[in-house]
């Protein structure tokens, strides 16, 4: 239900670092929102250092842009907590400074999202939604959350 796209340039992230960061972002999302871990997706995309500009000027230092799409319905406090904890996790894993990290959250109406073949439920209706999934998908998702 949340997709976090991590775009990075001027820094090399190995598979282990991506794994750690994906685990941390997933755990933060689950802990802060109360949603199951299988609702968080993390996607990494390396960019060339010459692909990023701010104010029309080349950003020629290592940096990360994180774009998170989450379901509409979370409080401002939860959204701020997500951003702060994710930024701290990125700093810890990458050793980048705060001024080298940009993070954004976009909210989407659950009715405008589909995962596992089903339109997503509103915040707080996850259990009822889960029960409508095919048994094979439920088994797979239960395995992911354990």
The model's pTM? 0.91
pLDDT 10s digits, 20-67: 999 999 999 999 999 989 999 999 999 999 999 999 999 999 999 999
In this structure, are residues 45 and 67 in contact, taking their beta carbons and an 8 Å threshold? no
Provide the token pair at 77. Answer: 């406090």
Distance CA 8, CA 52 (A): 10
Distance CA 93, CA 96 (A): 8
Domains of the chain: 2-145 (3.30.429.10)
Residue with tokens 């009822």, as numbered in its chain = 128
Residue 58 sits at φ, ψ, to 5 deg, of: -60, 130
pLDDT 10s digits, 15-25: 999 999 999 99
């Amino acid at each position: 239900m949340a997709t976090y796209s991590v775009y990075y340039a001027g820094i090399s992230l190995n598979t282990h670092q991506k794994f750690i960061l994906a685990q941390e972002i997933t755990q933060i999302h689950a802990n802060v929102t109360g949603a199951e871990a299988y609702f968080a997706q993390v996607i990494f995309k390396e960019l060339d250092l010459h692909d990023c500009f701010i104010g029309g000027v080349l950003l020629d230092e290592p940096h990360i842009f994180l774009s998170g799409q989450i379901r509409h319905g979370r409080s401002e406090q939860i959204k701020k907590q997500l951003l702060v904890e994710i930024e701290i996790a990125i700093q810890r894993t990458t050793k980048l400074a705060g001024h080298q990290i940009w993070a954004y959250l976009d909210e989407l109406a659950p009715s405008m999202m589909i995962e596992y073949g089903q339109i997503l439920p509103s915040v707080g209706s996850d259990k009822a939604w889960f029960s409508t999934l095919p048994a094979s998908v439920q088994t797979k998702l239960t395995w992911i959350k354990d």
